[in-house]
Chain A
Amino acid sequence: MNEVIFQERAKQIHRKGDAPFELACNKESLAGAVSQRACVFCGSRVVLYPIADAVHLVHGPIGCAAYTWDIRGALSSGPELHRLSFSTDLQERDVIFGGEKKLTQALHELIDRHHPNAAFVYSTCIVGIIGDDLEGICKKASQEKGIPVIPVMSEGFKGNKRAGYNAACKAMFRLVGTGDTTEISPHSINILGDFNLAGEIWIIREYFERMGIEVVANITGDGRVGDIARAHGAALNVVQCSGATMDLAKMMKEDYDIPFVRVSYFGIEDMAEALYKVAHFFKDDSEILHRAQQIVREELSTLYPQLQKYRQDLQGKKAAIYVGGAFKAFSLVKAFRLLGMEVVMVGSQTGTSEDYRELHEVTDEGTIIVDDSNPLELSAFLKEKDVDIFVGGVKERPIAYKLGLGFCDHNHERKEALEGFVGMLNFAKEVHATVMSPVWRFVPRREIRQ
C-alpha cells in the first residue's frame, strides 16, 4: 500500500541527495486524503485567539466554537475573556431565515456583559453560504457600542489555514492606526507571530526590554486591543513564524512604512540572531547592540554547562519533525544539531517552496523532506528511519506513541516554554525525558530491535 502512496505523492516528497531539489507545495490537499491540515477558520482563530481583552464570537453552528474552546495554552497576564466560548449556535431556522438578527442580539448581550475592548466576529462555512451581512452588522454594533467590532472573513472552505492567517491579519489591520502613538520611544518594536504558549512571549519581551527597547504590541500572545491599535507607532516589526502574521507586517510596511525582520526564537543560534537583528536595526544607539551581546553571553554561560549532560545522552539519536509552518522547522533542525542529534525527516503542513529550499540547505544527506503529509506516510518514514523522537502536533502524538517513539509537542499543546535561551534548556529536558524514558523498552517492535 505504501508504494502507491509514494507514487501519488512523489512530488511532495524529497530525499536529500537523490536528485536536484524540487518539491511541490502549497497545493490543495487531495480530496479523500487523511490530511493533517485544517481550514480557513482554524487559521484565523489561532492567530486572533490570544487577544485576551476582546470577545471572540463564532458565528455559526456550535461545532466551530466547541472545537476551538480553550484548546491552546495562549497565556494572558490579565483578562481571560479569550478562554470563554461564545457562539451564535446557528440552528436550521437561522440557516433558512438568516442569522443576522441573532448575531446582532448576541453581540449586544456580550458587549453589555463583558465590556470588552473589541469584538471579533468569525464567519464560518455556513455564513458564507447563507450570506449574512457581517460587515454591516459589525459596523452597526460598533457604532452603537463604541468599540471596534470586527468581522473576520474566515469561511472554512475559502482555502486552507494560510488563507485564515490572512483573514486574521486583515481583521487586525483594522485596529492598527486607531490608537495614540505620541509616547512611543523611537527604539520600539512590535512582536509578531508569537502566541505566548506556555508564557513564551514574556521571556522574549524581557530580552528586548533588557536591551532598552520598548515593546509596543504583542501580536498576538498576551495581546491587547489597545496595544494593537497603536502598533503603527513602533519603529520595527519583528516577525516570527512563517505564515501567521507576515501579511500584517506587509500591510504595515505598505501603509505605515514600518520595516520588518523575520526571526525565530527557537534554539540558541536563532534566538541570538533575533536579538542581534533587532539591535542592528537601531544603529543609532550602540548600547543596544552591546546589551544584546551581554544578554547572549550571560544566558549562554548559564545554559551551555546545563545542556552538556543532556547532550551526552542524546548524542546520535534520531529525530523527525512535522510541524504546521516550515519556519519553525529550520530552528528545530538547528536545535537538534546542538543536542548532537540527527534530523532524518522534516516536513510541514503549509511550507512554501522558499521554505523547503532553505530546509533542503540546512539538512543532511538522506533526510526526507515532505509537504502536507498523512499518517500512513509519516509512520512509514518514522519506521524506515528508526527514529527516536518525533516532533509534531496533536494528531501526530498518538502516531508516535503507537510506534513506540518519544514525542515532543511543538504546537498548541506544549506545556513548557520552548522559546528563548531558557526554552532551549526546556526543549533539551523535554527531548531527553521522552527519549530516555524506560517505557519504550516495553514496546514490542523495539524489544525485538534490542
Chain B
Amino acid sequence: MLEATPKEIVDRKALRINPAKTCQPIGAMYAALGIHGCLPHSHGSQGCCAYHRSHLTRHYKEPIMAATSSFTEGSAVFGGGANLRQAFTTMYKLYNPDVIAINTTCLSETIGDDIPTLIRESRESGIIPEDKVVIHANTPSYVGTHIAGWSNMTKAMVTYLSTKTDTAKNQINLIPGYVEPSDTRHLKQMLKTLGVEAVVFPDTSEVVDTPQTGEFHMYPKGGTTVEALRTTGNSLATLALGPEASKAAAVELEKKCQVPYQLLDLPIGIAATDRFVQAVMEVTGVEPPESLVEDRGRLVDIMTDWQQYLYGKRVALSGDPDQLVPVTEFLISCGARPVYVITGTPSRYFETRCKEILQETVPEAIVKADTDLFYLHQLIKNEPVDLLISNVYGKYIARAEDIPLVRFGWPILDRVGHSYFPSVGYRGSMHLLCNIINTLLERKDRDDPDEVFELVL
C-alpha cells in the first residue's frame, strides 16, 4: 500500500499525505466530554459531528454523545443563528443537559457567526433556561490541530466558569492535557496518594471508560462538575501538564483569577514524573508517601533489569507534541536512540524541547513539527529504525518496512487497553516501558533463528 513512497525527500507545500493530525473541533468535543453533564455541540454541518463521534467511538469503543447545528445551504448564506437557536430548543427539550459546550467549525467560522452574542440573545429570550450553563470555543478547522481544539475548549471552561471569591481554597488545579481517561484517573490517584486536594479538568474518566451496567446513560457519572470548575479561581496554583494542550487555560486562570501556574511536561518517564511530583510538593508542601517512592523504585528496577534490550535501539516516533517530548526523554534515559520524532501539529515547544533533549546523545536526530507520516516513512526508508512508536496510523509504515510497532497516543482504532492502562506517572511509565520492551522481545523471538532462539531472555 505504501510502495509509492519515494526515498527522495522533496519539500511539499501544497499536499498533505497521510496526516499526523486532525482538526480542532474533535479536540474541543473530547475536552467538553470531560465536563459532567455536558452535551458537546458542533456548530456546523452534521457531517463534522458525525465524523467526530465516529472517530471517538472507534478509539474508545463507547457511545459518544454530541449534537449538531445541522447547517444547510440557507445557514451558509444567512448565518447559523437560527440553527443555533433551534438547536438550543431541541437540546433542552430532548436531552436536558446541564452544560452545553459549543465548538465552531470551518464553516461557521468563515460565515462569521458570533457565538457569544447568539448565546446572550438566546439567554435573554429565555431559550436557554436560567440555571443552565453554556460555554463556547472558537475552533476553526483551518487553524492548528485537534490539540488546539482541546486547548481552546479547556480555556473556555476557565473563561466562562472560573471565579475568584474571598474564600481561598486549599486545593490546586490540575490540567491533565490531551490524555486518556486512564491517565486522568491515575493522576487523580497520585494526588490522592500525595494527600492533595485538586480540581482536575477536564476529566474524561468515568465518561469514555464507563463500566458495563446494561444501561445506556447519556450523561455518565464522570466529568468535572461545574461547581468544581467555578472554584478553580480560588485555588492555590495551577499545574498545567503538556504546554500545547494545557497552557492556554492556565494562563487564562492567572489572568482572570490571579492563580499562579506552573507549566510542566506530561509526566511520562522517570524524569518528567519526578518533576511533576516535585512541583506538587513545592506548591502544596506535601511529602511523597512511601508507596509513591516504591512505585518510582519499581520503574527504575524495570529500566535496569532490561536495559540491554533498549540500549542503542533506533526509534522513530509520531504523535502529539505533549506526549512526544517526555517519551523522547524517557527513551533517552533508557539508552534508546529516538532518531526521528515527528508530529503533524505545528509546535515550537515540541521542536525546542526535543532538540534540547536529543542534542547530547542523538545529535543526528531529526525532529520535525507540522509534517506528516509520508515524510516519516521517507526518513525510515532512507535509514531504517528498530522500533516505531506511533498512534494507529503508524501500522502502515510498520507493515511496509517490517518494523515492530508500539501503539501509543491518539487515536488507536485497532487495539484495546489505552482507556484502561495509563502511561503517565511512575506506574503508567512502567506500563509503557513494558509494552516497549515486550514488543522488541516479541520481534527478537520472531526473528531469531532456531539455534539462538532462547527460553530465557
Contacts and interface: CB of A to CB of B under 8 A. Distances in A.
B72 A28 contact: yes
Contacts of A379: 216
B105 interface: yes
B452 interface: no
A256 interface: no
Interface string A392-425: 0011011101111000000000000000000000
A357 interface: no
Give the most central of A66, A89, A104, A158: most B CB within 10 Å. A66
Nearest to A38: B50
Given A35-B70, A63-B48, A158-B73, A87 B107 contact: no
Nearest to A58: B16
B58 A394 contact: yes
B86 interface: yes
B16 A87 contact: yes
Contacts of A125: 44-45, 71, 76, 105-107
Given A42-B50, A63-B23, A157-B72, A34 B65 contact: yes
A442 B84 CA distance: 42
Given A83-B1, A395-B57, A402-B63, A31 B15 contact: no
B17 A31 contact: no
Interface residues of B, number: 80
A64 B46 CA distance: 12
Contacts of B41: 32
Contacts, number: 254
Interface string A163-206: 00000000000000000000000000000000000000000000
Interface residues of A, number: 84
A335 to B, nearest CB: 25
A37 interface: yes
Give the most central of B72, B84, B142: most A CB within 10 Å. B142
B50 A40 contact: no
Contacts of A81: 4
B46 A30 contact: no
Give the most central of A34, A39, A447: most B CB within 10 Å. A34
Contacts of A110: 15
Interface string B20-53: 0111011000000000000101001111111111
A159 to B, nearest CB: 7
Contact of B216 (A36, A61, A375): A375
A32 B48 contact: no
A411 to B, nearest CB: 10
B21 A62 contact: yes
B63 A105 contact: no
Interface in A37-92: 37-42, 60-69, 71, 80-81, 83-92
Nearest to A379: B216
Contacts of A300: none
A80 B214 contact: no
B72 A444 contact: no
A103 interface: yes
Given A65-B19, A126-B107, A8 B14 contact: no
B142 A84 contact: no
Interface string A101-129: 11111100110011000000000111011
A375 B94 CA distance: 11
A161 B31 CA distance: 28
B70 A31 contact: yes
Interface of A: 1, 4-5, 8, 28-42, 60-69, 71, 80-81, 83-92, 94-95, 101-106, 109-110, 113-114, 124-126, 128-130, 156-160, 374-376, 379, 394-395, 397-399, 401-404, 442-447
22 contacts: A32-B68, A32-B87, A32-B91, A34-B39, A34-B67, A34-B95, A42-B47, A61-B23, A61-B106, A63-B141, A66-B21, A71-B58, A84-B1, A102-B14, A103-B14, A109-B12, A130-B110, A375-B63, A375-B216, A394-B58, A395-B57, A401-B61
Given A31-B84, A37-B46, A38-B47, 5 more contacts: A29-B70, A61-B142, A84-B17, A91-B142, A402-B212
